[in-house]
Copies of this chain bind each other. A is one copy, B any other.
Amino acid sequence: MLSKEENQRVTRVGPGTPMGETLRRYWMPALLAWELPAPDCPPVRLRLLGEDLVAFRATDGTIGLLEEFCPHRGASLWLGRNEENGLRCVYHGWKFDVSGQCVDQMNEPEPFCSKICAVAYGTIELGGVIWVYMGPADKQPPPPNFDWTRVPETHRSVSKGMQECNWLQALEGGIDTSHFTIMHRVLKKNSSHGGIPVDSAGVRGGPPTLELDITDYGYAYYGIRPLEDTQYARGYHYVMPYTQLRPPDLEEEQVHGHYWVPVDDENCMAWNFYYSYGEEPILDQARRNTASGNAYGSHVDVENGFRSIGNRSNDWGIDRDIQNTETFTGIDGVNQQDRAVQESMGPIVDRSREHLGPADKAIIATRKLLLEAIETVESGGDPRGTGASYHEVRAVGRILPTGADWRKELLPAMYPETGGVSP
């Protein structure tokens, strides 16, 4: 439970808000690289932290990410022409380079370009994603070299989908390991509907015991489920401010993960990735599953701003017959199930009416860290997760003998570079 004031403080993301200023201290996933497929391709609109932006790939391949509206008279630069290393406003032909500098003014007999700059944010391309930093220049952290961004393209998959609720609701749904084997459960053997089969390890295990280690990038957390003769131990990471790494269902050399990036106060972009850090590439079948949303992917309308096809307006496609007999929710696809409950709470849920329990330990810790980060930023410091220690971490799951010291088994695989020492 949060007070109404704390809830306001931790959810709002616009310029000048406490959380907004804190979020601006991190690199954020902005676009899939293929959304700007080639030099001089059409510009792309996006909204991040409540700011309207336009992105373009210049003739030399570099990325520009500018405020959407032309500094001259406010026309949308998204209508603009991307040509010869700059984005040109169609209204009066003012042109801006990737740094935001005005370099041409077609309507002025005596141009005064050097005096005009558009707001521009720094970008970097990593792992097929264009990342942006929207904070103060002197506070820019090292590049977001997550482990998955460094594997070959054949070994990773990235997708995204719009979610119509506040980012914290989505994040809290993602780190909430306790709902996983309940909500995503498939009731019937061989069902064609996505979810966690009744006979899978996780579902068999019942509610997990949670443990949590605070780190300098956020925390690691563990869900331990006793099985018949064994125990199922899963280790996750929460990387500040909105990233989760989660283990695969089986003991594969894979990690799955999400970013829940604030679009504005009432919308977020749910990013999905998974990758193989072993020799095996990701199989085509798995890649297709991701795309179809049967696993961790999503059913999204790419042409329509990556909006989910199942959404509030169509009740997320709930089918009561399927809910009766095949899946716990009657909603198709794991991601869509998550979106459904998270969006069903309303745009920004009132956390002053909650009743949390021990199973919500990770959620409580997240809120504490976020509120702590706001205070750190307000007092001039650098919040957790702005270093580089998260670059090497991995999420893992193991089925272990009952009574085994799961921490001893999991940590070396979760922190491979330091031999299991958590930062």
Contact = CB atoms under 8 A, between A and B. Distances in A.
A204 B90 CA distance: 18
B349 A74 contact: yes
Contact of A179 (B107, B116, B182, B316): B107
B320 A354 contact: no
For A107, A172, A328, A345, which residue has the most chain B Cβ atoms within 10 angstroms? Answer: A107
Given A358-B109, A359-B108, A76 B344 contact: yes
Contacts of A42: 320, 323
A142 B91 CA distance: 37
Contact of A108 (B93, B172, B358): B358
A79 B353 contact: no
Contacts of A72: 354-357
A355 B71 CA distance: 6
A222 to B, nearest CB: 14
Contacts of A183: 90-93
B207 A109 contact: yes
Size bracket, chain A contacts: 35 or more
A151 interface: no
Nearest to A45: B315
Contacts of A115: 355
Interface in A347-378: 349-351, 353-360
A172 B387 CA distance: 49
B341 A106 contact: no
Nearest to A117: B355
A401 interface: no
Contacts of A138: none
A279 to B, nearest CB: 37
Interface in A333-351: 337, 340-342, 344-346, 349-351
B323 A74 contact: no
A69 interface: yes
A75 interface: yes
A320 B345 CA distance: 39
B320 A108 contact: no
Q: Is the interface of A mostly helix, strand, loop or mixed?
A: loop
Given A76-B345, A91-B183, A344-B76, A353 B106 contact: no
B107 A346 contact: no
A351 B73 CA distance: 7
B355 A91 contact: no
A92 to B, nearest CB: 5
Given A74-B353, A110-B358, A328 B81 contact: yes
Interface string A200-238: 000000111100000000000000000000000000000
Contacts of A358: 108-110
A366 to B, nearest CB: 13
A318 B79 contact: yes
Contacts of A337: 90
B108 A182 contact: no
A406 interface: no
B76 A116 contact: no
A305 to B, nearest CB: 12
A105 interface: yes
Closest 3 CB pairs of A and B: A76-B344, A107-B178, A74-B345
Given A74-B354, A75-B341, A115-B355, 5 more contacts: A75-B345, A79-B316, A90-B341, A107-B179, A116-B355
8 contacts: A72-B355, A73-B172, A74-B345, A79-B316, A79-B318, A81-B323, A91-B341, A92-B183
